Amino acid sequence: MSDEAQTIPGLGAPADTEWETVVGLEVHAELATATKLFSASPNRFGGEPNTHIDPVSLGLPGSLPVLNEKAVELAIRVGLALNCRIQPSVFARKNYFYPDMPKDFQISQYDQPINVDGWLELPSGKRVGIERAHLEEDTGKTVHIGGGGRIHEAGYSLVDYNRAGVPLIEIVGHPELRSAEEARQYVSELRSILVAVGASDGKMEEGSLRVDCNVSVRPVGSDRLGTRCEIKNVNSLRSLGRAVEYEARRQIDLLTSGQPVEQQTRHWNEDDGRTHALRSKEEDYDYRYFPEPDLLPLDPSTEWVEQIRHALPSLPRDRRLGLAEAAPSVDIDHIALAVERSMDDLALAAISGGGAAERVMTHIVQNLADGSGELAPESLADLVGMEEAGDLTATQAKKVLAVLVEGGGSPQDAAQTLGFEAMGIGELESLVDNLIAEHSDEWSRYCDGDNKLTGFFVGQVMKATKGRADGKAVTQLLNSRRG
Amino acid sequence: MTAVEIAAAVRSGQRSARSVVDEHLDVIVGGDADIHAFNLVAAAQARVRADEIDGAVAAGRDPGPLAGVPVALKDNLCTRGLATTCSSRILEGWTPPYDATVVEQLHNAGAVVVGKTNMDEFAMGSSTENSAFGPTRNPCDTSRVPGGSSGGSAAAVAAGFAPVALGSDTGGSIRQPAALCGVVGVKPTYGLVSRYGLVAFASSLDQIGPFTTTVADAAAVLDVIGGPDARDSTSISEPQPPVSHTLADGVDGLRVGVLTELSGNGIALDVAARLQAAVGALESAGARVAEASVPAAVYGLSAYYLIAPAEASSNLARYDGVRYGLRVDGPSTPDMNTATRSAGFGDEVKRRIMIGTYALSAGYYDAYYGKAQKVRTLIINDFASVWEQFDLLVSPTSPTTAFPLGERTTDPMAMYMSDVCTVPVNLTGQAAMSVPYGVGDDGLPVGVQIMAPALGEPVMFRAAAVLEASL
């Protein structure tokens, strides 16, 4: 084994090597403030270009930043929700030239960020470490005109500074994710938390949530990290999964063919489904960070932090735990889905109102669309009760539910309106007994063990009841009559 | 007439603001061709403003404590609708859409802006020779520099173009030209005057202050421009007592230290003699004078010439040709940035951007910028212990009187030494001012620097008034 191979995990590994993907994510989320991080211009998506601007967000000579207190509060909410330590922090200037950055430096936080050392729990129960979650300002947007919108072929470029100075929180996770799927779960969970605490709208499609992923690979069992590449331009959960998978594959192919992975910043191209090299480590900027002299150090009082902590809403993880406790037999994915869709309050209320947990959760996950949260939990509980009593079939219950979501009312009334009037067990019994008498031949064959005749009898019952009977209940009844 | 006299006359209706302004504009027209104090004279605008003030007086309203007082503004203070150049080609064609806080305050106090004054480009220099528009000359001797970087403002007041001018002081840029031109110049406590609208050179050091011919005028202006401003996060949030009210309180019993590190080595003998005379005057007025030592002060210049360029390298990044000012086209955006900055900045600005960029670079930060910040802390601590024993400190403002034009332009180190007495106070954020105190052997003005702890302006002005009266 060469020296190089000893220092690079997996270099020249045999084709049958089992690989592990290592992912660490940096997520930028726009904070949902009314105004920008350092000025009074509105923080609003869209708008005519260069209308949400002022001397400060344009970085005009002589302008000075003034910190937005609401942004700090939202950052602290995020820090608390991610189990971070909230500490005194310092703003720093990150210096590099870019046309959409008005001052040619970005005000960010560097060696003393506001939130450090937290963790986030995935629905699976796995905890992922959060290194830091710091405040910084967003840049403007450059539009390249001509040449199909590509920078190198463009005739000219236009810059829109509406977004410049919008508050961001950058959440840096430890490289503890081990697959594309875990990376997706992490971002999904993080987004739910950001939305739950009111810090961000979490819209990846509008760029309010942006993900940079650091990907490396190593043979399973290796305790050293491989060389990582940072992937930019990942704009949806779907792209995230695809980009991580592609990049891991690319790195594995390099290593197995004996080529080391070069540390690079790469760009995900949604159209060709590949990542492309943007710049190597050597070409990286020297940001020349230093403390921002125009702003004072930020030192939120303990009282303020505690006040924010007490006002925090319950977080997705707690809500999952709560629902899982009320519905212990229900699959964790369904629990997570219900919480993600903010249907957990309805589920909990229906269950505590007497609805059988599994049936309640089936309706929540399969039969109710987002925004059905206004359905009265008692109605859902009653509906489930009718199913349990055999008064409604699953198919009927779904139809009743649709009526309830549409216009409210009680499930009993809705069932009646739909013609699903209650069919008591007594009615069903007499019907079945009549059928047995009418079809004595078939019955004796059935009693001799010809189970194919189950279908015949159920079909007869359905025909007689125009589908009102519960097939399952009929089968049970036939069985018990057979003795 | 002093600013205080003008304001009294205009407020009482004895004189019209218009006549005051016209008179000063005439002096400017007659004299500025030789001095070049101004980059821009806003004659028409000044007359309109003067008429407004006269209208207010006629209507029985009080235009404010600086009613009708002509004011010249250093050309790094943003003025809505008036070009603001920082004496640099890079801001060619840019007109700010807003007024600096101090400009608003002056306006609200009834002052009349008569023009924008020449300066070293982006306030980098000590002679006003680093201006893209040519040097300013010292009205006391036009073969000499006025000092800098606020040389245009100092010269404007010395030449009688305006009784009041504002400058900015990052390492002595108000006090040194005030000394060289024989006028009063004040660098207030960092945070006392809002920096909003002052085009930044070195944000942690910059402070705006007045030039005037009298101590009382300086006090009157400081009382107008000092105070909290929500637009500047480094502004001191508590209002301060006015300095004008206690001007006449004298120095009896005050403990005054002669700062040895800034008063011996490298100070011209005639300048040192004037300092001794000033110390004598303070003693005669009842001050208890002793030698004071701030050992770390000797490192002030070295720390300053790393911290100031480091901040400047970042503050001046925005002049990239994208949004305003000069643009020199190139095949790509980085090429355009480079071409613009190469053509737009003068040599001294480029030199400092390079020094500052280097001082902040990965691998050098700790040795340069980091070390300089530690020295800064050391100087702050040294001064803090001196303030336990003294109420005020004195030193020369400048090691020499005004030097000839061209003498130091090819020797940056000699030029930087001009700031040796003034720089320490910018690093600490304390208050300091220069008061003219006679002339040197060459017949040119000598200034005495009075230093006070943070927010010590009232006491500092009392000593300045005593010195002024003793001449």
Could you tell me the CATH number of the domain that includes residue A434?
1.10.10
Q: What angle do CA A358, A362, A365 make, to 5 degrees?
A: 130
For chain B, the first-to-last Cα distance in angstroms comes to 19
- Percent of chain A surpassing pLDDT 70: 96
Other Cβ atoms within 10 Å of A148 Cβ, number = 7
SS3 state of residue B141 = strand
What phi and psi, each to the nearest 5 degrees, are found at residue B38?
-105, 140
Window from A147-151, B183-187, B378-382 with minimum mean pLDDT: A147-151
Q: Are A195 and A341 in contact (CB under 8 A)?
A: no
Q: Is the dihedral of CA B360, B364, B365, B367 positive or negative?
A: negative
Exactly one of B16, B127, B150, B173 is catalytic; name it: B173
Does any domain span residue B69?
yes
Tell me what pLDDT residue A2 has.
Answer: 47
Tell me if B360 and A95 make a contact (CB, 8 A cut-off). Answer: yes
**How many domains does the structure of chain B reveal?**
1
Give the closest of A60, A63, A66 to B230, CB-based. Answer: A66
DSSP-assigned letters across all residues of B23-92: HHHHHHHHHHHHH--EEEE-HHHHHHHHHHHHHHHHTT----TTTT-EEEEETTB-BTTB---TT-GGGT
Residues A231 and A328 in one domain: no
- Decide if B382 contacts B297 (C-beta within 8 A): yes
Give per-residue pLDDT as tens, B103-161.
999 999 999 999 999 999 999 999 999 999 999 999 999 999 999 999 999 999 999 99
Distance from C-alpha of B381 to C-alpha of B387, rounded to nearest angstrom = 10
Shared domain for A344 and A206, answered yes or no, is: no
What are the C-alpha distances in Å from A481 to residues A390, A391, B31?
Answer: 18, 20, 123
User: How big is the A-B interface in CB pairs under 8 Å?
Assistant: 97
| pLDDT, average across residues B61-81 | 98
pLDDT of residue A395: 81
- Mean per-residue pLDDT, B458-467: 98
CA A297 to centroid of chain Cα atoms: 34
- Higher pLDDT: B166 or A468? It is B166
Question: Are A368 and A413 part of one and the same domain?
Answer: yes
Is there a single domain that holds both residue A370 and residue A283?
A: no
| β-strand pairing of B112-117 with B184-187 | unpaired
- Residues A244-259: what's their mean pLDDT? 96
Same domain, A355 and A469: no
- Can you give the C-alpha Rg of chain B in angstroms? 21
Q: Using the predicted structure, report yes or no on whether residue A275 has a pLDDT greater than 60.
A: yes
> Is residue B200 in some structural domain?
yes
| Chain B residues within an 8 Å CB radius of A97 | 317, 320, 334, 337
Q: Work out whether strand B70-74 and strand B164-168 pair parallel, antiparallel, or are unpaired.
A: parallel
Q: Establish if B112 belongs to a structural domain.
A: yes
Shortest Cα distance from B262 to chain A (angstroms)? 27
CB atoms within 10 A of CB A174: 12
Distance from C-alpha of B394 to C-alpha of B467, rounded to nearest angstrom? 12
DSSP H or E segment with residue B310: helix B300-315
Q: Which residues in chain A are closer than 8 Å to B335, comparing Cβ atoms?
A: none
Cβ(A335)–Cβ(A324) below 8 Å: yes
Residue A373, pLDDT > 70, answer no
Least confident residue range of B17-21, B173-177, B298-302, B426-430 = B298-302
Confidence of residue A340 (pLDDT cuts 50, 70, 90): confident
What's phi and psi for A156, nearest 5 deg? -160, 170
Whether residue A201 sits in one domain with residue A87: yes
Q: Are A207 and A201 in contact, with CB atoms under 8 Å apart?
A: no
pLDDT of residue A372: 66
Percentage, residues of chain B above pLDDT 70: 100
- Considering A286, A307, A328, which residue would you say is the last residue of a domain? A307
- Determine the Cα–Cα distance for residues B430 and B300; give it in Å rounded to an integer: 14
Q: What is the pLDDT of residues A321-339, one digit of tens each?
A: 999 999 998 988 899 888 8
| In contact, B292 and B393? CB cutoff 8 Å | yes
Q: What percentage of chain B exceeds 90 in pLDDT? A: 97
Residues of A in contact with B84 (CB under 8 A): 61-62
Q: What rounded mean pLDDT belongs to chain B?
A: 97
pLDDT at A256 over 50: yes
Task: Indicate if the pLDDT at residue A388 is higher than 60.
Answer: yes
Q: Is B97 on the interface with A (CB under 8 A)?
A: yes
Give the structural domain span for B137. Answer: 3-238
Are both A224 and A354 inside the same structural domain? no
Q: Which two tokens stand for residue A209?
A: 């949530």
Instruction: Read off the amino acid at residue B260.
Output: T
Please, which residues bridge with residue A170 across strands? A28, A134
Question: Is B295 part of a structural domain of the chain?
Answer: no
Closest CA to A120 of A212, A45, A193: A193
CA–CA gap between residue A14 and residue A19 (Å, rounded):
11
Are B447 and B159 contacting, i.e. CB atoms less than 8 angstroms apart? Answer: no
* Among A97, A159, A295, beta carbon nearest to B233: A295
In this prediction, residue A60 has a pLDDT band, given cuts at 50, 70 and 90, of: very high
User: Taking residues B388-411, what's their average pLDDT?
Assistant: 96
Q: How far is A49 from chain B (nearest CA, A)?
A: 14
Pick the residue from chain B with its C-alpha nearest to A67: B233
If one counts the domains in chain A, the total is: 3
Reply yes or no on whether the pLDDT at A147 is more than 80. no
Nearest CA to A201 among A33, A313, A320? A33
* A265/A328 same-domain check: no
Q: Do B322 and A62 touch (CB under 8 A)?
A: no
- Asked whether the beta carbons of A66 and A167 are under 8 A apart, the reply is no
Instruction: Determine the pLDDT at residue A423.
Output: 65
| DSSP category for residue B213 | S
pLDDT tier at A387, thresholds 50, 70, 90: confident
User: Average pLDDT in the B313-337 region?
Assistant: 96
The C-alpha of B425 sits at a distance from chain A's nearest C-alpha, in angstroms, of 17
A323 and A443 in a single domain? The answer is: no
B305, B309, B312, B314: CA torsion to nearest 10: -140
A295 and A199 part of one domain: yes
**What does the alpha-carbon distance between residue B138 and residue B36 come to, in Å, rounded to a whole number?**
9
* Residue span of the structural domain in which A51 resides: 3-307
At B394 the three-state DSSP class reads strand
Give me the CATH number covering residue B107.
Answer: 3.90.1300.10
Mean pLDDT within A198-223: 93
Average pLDDT over residues B216-245: 97
Q: Which domain-ending residue is among A242, A275, A307?
A: A307
Q: Confirm or reject contact between A143 and chain B (CB < 8 A).
A: no
Coil, strand or helix at A120 = strand
Nearest chain A residue to B236 by CA: give it: A296
- Candidates B196, B310, B323; nearest CB to A64: B196
When pLDDT is averaged across residues A17-36 and rounded to a whole number, the result is 97
Q: How confident is the model at residue A480, as a pLDDT?
A: 84
Which domain-ending residue is among A365, A387, A417?
Answer: A417
User: A122-139 pLDDT, tens per residue?
Assistant: 988 999 999 999 999 999
Contacts of residue B374, Cβ cutoff 8 Å, sequence gap at least 6 = none
* A412 and A429 fall within a common domain: no
Mean pLDDT for A457-482 is 82
User: Bridge partners of B116?
Assistant: B40, B73
Q: Identify which of A58, A102, A294 has the shortest CB distance to residue B233.
A: A294
End-to-end CA distance of chain A: 75
Mean pLDDT of B35-64: 98
Question: Is residue A5's pLDDT more than 60?
Answer: no
Q: What's the confidence (pLDDT) of residue B323? A: 95
- Spatial separation of the C-alpha atoms in residues B280 and B467, rounded to whole Å: 10
Query: Binning pLDDT at 50, 70 and 90, where does residue B53 land?
Result: very high
> What rounded mean pLDDT belongs to chain A?
90
Between B371-386 and B300-315, two packed helices, what is the crossing angle to 10 degrees? 130
Query: CB A104 to CB B317 under 8 A?
Result: yes
Distance CA A55, CA A39 (A): 9
pLDDT at A151 over 70: no
Q: How confident is the model at residue B62 (pLDDT cuts 50, 70, 90)?
A: very high
Task: Quote the minimal CA–CA distance from A244 to chain B in Å.
Answer: 31
Residue B149 falls within a domain, yes or no? Answer: yes
Q: Is B332 a catalytic residue?
A: no
Whole-angstrom distance, CA of residue B279 vs CA of residue B467:
9
Residues A276 and A325 placed together within one structural domain of the fold: no
Token output for A374: 């206004």
The pLDDT score that the predictor gives to residue A450 is 86
Nearest to B71 by CA among B155, B152, B164, B193: B164
Q: Which of B412, B416, B384 is nearest to B398 (CA)?
A: B416
A1 pLDDT above the threshold of 70 = no
Q: In this predicted structure, what is the pLDDT of residue B145?
A: 98
Q: What is the pLDDT of residues A410-448, one digit of tens each?
A: 888 888 888 776 566 777 888 888 888 899 898 989 988
- pLDDT at residue A467 greater than cutoff 80: no
pLDDT at A173 over 50: yes
Separation CA A231–CA A214 (nearest Å): 6
Output the pLDDT for position A148.
65
The mean pLDDT value for A55-75 works out to 97
